[in-house]
Amino acid sequence: MVNCRRQRNYIHSIRDRNGGILTERRQIGDRLNEFFEETMTTSEPDLMSQIFNVQAPCLDEGEKLKLLSGVDNGEIVAALKHMKPSKTGWLSGLLFSAFLEFGG
């Protein structure tokens, strides 16, 4: 079984640049290395610097303060009103009953 698997994953031959067929293991490996080096090497060295020179998105001071502030009761009530009872199971029913107790 294992021997059959190896045979299916084995590259028996591959074509070189000129269309010739390479059958030796060493030639096939060299051609694959050559192919991937050409494919993965950029002809524009400035391209990588352009890619890595992008400014990452960041929060301004107002957004940071809003994230650090506490949650008020209005936000909790709004979240409870928008919850679908079937999505959270028993927790939803528990929160909804607590919401009703607090006069929501």
pLDDT digits (tens, 9 = 90+) for 22-62: 999 999 999 999 888 887 776 665 666 666 777 777 888 88
| Nearest alpha carbon to residue 76 among 56, 58, 53, 102 | 102
Is residue 12 helix, strand or coil? coil
**What pLDDT score does 73 carry?**
80
Say how far residue 16 (Cα) sits from the centre of its chain: 35
Render the burial of 32-56: b for 16+ CB within 10 Å, e for the rest. eeeeeeeeeeeeeeeeeeeeeeeee
Q: Where are the domains of the chain?
A: 2-44, 69-101
Model pLDDT for residues 52-91, shown as the tens digit of each residue? 777 777 888 888 888 888 888 888 778 777 777 666 555 5
- Structure confidence at residue 46 (pLDDT): 64
Whether the CB-CB separation of 69 and 57 falls below 8 Å is answered with no
Query: Is residue 18's pLDDT more than 70?
Result: yes
pTM over 0.85: no
